[in-house]
Amino acid sequence: MMRSVRDEPGSVRPIVGLALGGGGALGAAHVGVLRAVHEHGIHLKVIAGTSAGALVGAAYAAGLPLAKIDQNVRDADWSVFGRLRPSPRFGLLDSAALLDTIDRLGGEPLIEDMPRRFAAVATDLRTRQGVILDWGRLGPALRASIAVPGVFSPIVIGDRLLVDGGLAANLPIEAAQHLGATFTIAVRLRPEWEYVPVVRSADAIAELETRSDVLVIRPDLAGLSQWSRNDVPRIIDAGYRAAHDALQDWRVTQRHAA
């Protein structure tokens, strides 16, 4: 069970949430998913994201126009994962080179002041538990969520040492539900990106797909790079196609069930 930095009692009204998984440049697929969601007239008030999903989700939750998010994602230099300078602490890599991208994909507001409810998911390095970052400054939360162990230095928030959320929850459905979502559209990218064993991951996804409160979207990203922006236009299109088809099928199913 993941723990929130701020757990508050009380009920929330039923809302649709979006859970965006991680995967480097493959996270560009989330832009296509958002476009399809808009076209289907689905109103989102809750966004949860892990790693690249947190970057795109934060931009949307902060109120950036979808066209602006699309352009920023296309312009982002995803290759920085492979060429950052060593950090003096931990002997790892400094995430400072990603700050410009983070600023362009959501800026530095307080999470609780954003137009839509948002949470970035990180992992407590000491306990290996997922941490839902749903309040405080956006920048540190995003840096924690993308802090891939062995690539970026851990981020300190409060008394926690935080790293990439994919260690605990690469598909942050629980975080979306924590924010109040009673139906969650979950976007899963490549299983190779996930830190959990493939068999365990496959079993978990199979279980999710039988639940009535979760719709799992899996874009076809075969052969596309998660470290280069060269494939980003195709990745965005793949996200759009997968979401469009999944939402159409879901609507048909709902009509037949009515």
| Catalytic positions, written as ranges | 51, 164
Q: How far is CA 109 from CA 102, 103, 153, in A?
A: 12, 10, 23
Q: Give the side-chain half-sphere CA count within 13 A for 172.
A: 41
Query: Does the CA dihedral 59-62-67-72 come out positive or negative?
Result: negative
C-beta separation of 129 from 171 below 8 A? no
Do 4 and 132 contact (CB within 8 A), yes or no?
Answer: yes
Spell out a b/e string for 139-172, using b for 16 or more CB atoms within 10 Å of the CB, else e: bbbbbbbbbbbebbbbbebeebbbbbbbbbbbbb
- Strand, helix or coil for residue 6: coil
Dist CA 94 CA 106 (whole Å): 20
